[in-house]
Amino acid sequence: MQVFNLKAMKSHPYEERDKNVFYKANEFKTRIIELPPDGEMPTCEMTSYVIFYVIKGTTEVKVNQEKAILKEGQCLISEPATLSIKTQNGVKMMGIQIIKI
Q: What is the pLDDT along the chain (101 residues), one digit of tens a residue?
A: 999 999 999 999 888 889 999 999 999 999 999 999 999 998 999 999 999 999 999 999 999 989 999 999 999 999 999 999 999 999 999 999 999 77
Q: CA 38, CA 90: separation in Å to the nearest integer?
A: 7
End-to-end CA distance of the chain: 25
Beta-carbon-side half-sphere exposure of residue 5 (alpha carbons within 13 Å): 4
- The pLDDT of residue 98 is 97
Is 30-98 CATH 3.20.20.60?
A: no
- The pLDDT of residue 10 is 92
In the chain, where the domains are located: 30-98
- The pLDDT of residue 28 is 96
